[in-house]
Amino acid sequence: MPVLTKINTNVIADDAVTAAKIPADALGATDIAANAVGSSEIADEAVTPAKIAYLGDGTGKLSGTITGQQLRLGTAFTLTDDLTVNGDLTLSKVRADGTGQSLTQDSSANRTLTGTGTLRMGHATEKTSISGFTGVLDSAVTGGAGLNKVSGIHLRTTYYTSAGSGVWVKPSDTVSIRIKTIAGGGGGGGGSDAGDESCGSGGSAGGYAELYIATAAPSYAYVVGAAGAAGSAGGAGGAGGATTIAGIAGGGGNPGDGTTTATHRDGAIGTTPTGGDINVRGNGGGNGYIKVVGLGGSSYLGGSYAAKPGSHGTASSFGCGGSGGGTAGGNGGAGGVGYIEIREYS
């Protein structure tokens, strides 16, 4: 029996072979040789969008389980049931026309989008909307203001450690803040000029306050409390300045007492700031006795050094009290300057 090896196109009538006469999957990728059809063999405008088939029914409806690699074209897609993506699903557009894409659902009951694969959308993902779904978005997903973001992440900490005033301005990514403040410490009193008489007493530390603000205002004016001045020989020290911000106020350290006699001098009593969630009174200064100086009160961050005969202690930390001056004409020590710490969170 003769074998048919070739059919010329001139013996096939126009439109004799239709799509209905070709069984599904009759021609697979393995039946077409590599590079068998080149661009020169396809007439201009012969391939139109209407003649391109792609996975899906063309309605933009999505449901069930998707495996392998699938490309679906359209501007609007709808979940008609729960969808599981275990392969690579791309919802795309032929061109970027500035309108973006949407993925919605057709029921008042939330649909669930799950799976181990990857879902990609559109030419311009910044204009893609996803609404009405439950599930977890991977950490790599980014979006605009409408996309829930992790809150409470520590972003940065701002410190103000010099006496003076200013304004803190909230950065755009900051939502909540925690403020910690210390007022200025009181200065220590000066000791007696005589070597066998009493030393000065210590100034008290500035008070500590802490305040959490869930939704920070655009800005807050602040003042960092100044250090209390050192008392001269035989004289009292100066009071520490209040540190203020966002309603926190007061708490400046009281000054230590100076002396010109052998009578001991009581240390300064601390004060308590106001306006914080936590308000802690500053530690009091130590008493001054013969050849025993009164130490400055310790602040939330530390204390002051002891004075020696004829000299004075030096403030070693923010807001601490200055120590009393030693005998033989010792000046008191200055207090520590105040402190503000602002921790910012997303």
In the 3-class helix/strand/coil scheme, how is 214-264 assigned residue by residue?
A: CCCCCEEEEEECCCCCCCCCCCCCCCCCCCEECCEECCCCCCCCCCCCCCC
Give the model's pLDDT for residue 91: 83
Q: What angle do CA 226, 231, 236 make, to 5 degrees?
A: 100
Give the burial class of 142: count Cβ atoms within 10 A of its Cβ; 0-12 exposed, 13-18 middle, 19 or more buried. exposed
Contact yes or no for 184/296 (Cβ under 8 A)? no
Distance of alpha carbon 77 from alpha carbon 111, whole angstroms? 13
Give the model's pLDDT for residue 133: 52
The token pair at 98 is 């500035």
Tell me phi and psi for residue 51, to 5 degrees: -95, 0
Closest listed residue to residue 245, CA positions, set 174, 346, 168: 168
Distance of alpha carbon 321 from alpha carbon 126, whole angstroms? 57
Distance of alpha carbon 74 from alpha carbon 91, whole angstroms? 7
Contact yes or no for 312/230 (Cβ under 8 A)? yes
In the chain (346 residues long), the average pLDDT of successive 10-residue segments reads 62 71 66 69 68 56 85 82 87 71 76 84 50 53 52 92 97 96 94 80 94 97 96 92 97 92 88 96 91 88 61 73 81 92 96
Contact yes or no for 295/285 (Cβ under 8 A)? yes
Distance of alpha carbon 342 from alpha carbon 66, whole angstroms? 50
Strands 69-73 and 88-92: parallel
Distance of alpha carbon 345 from alpha carbon 177, whole angstroms? 6
Distance of alpha carbon 126 from alpha carbon 227, whole angstroms? 53
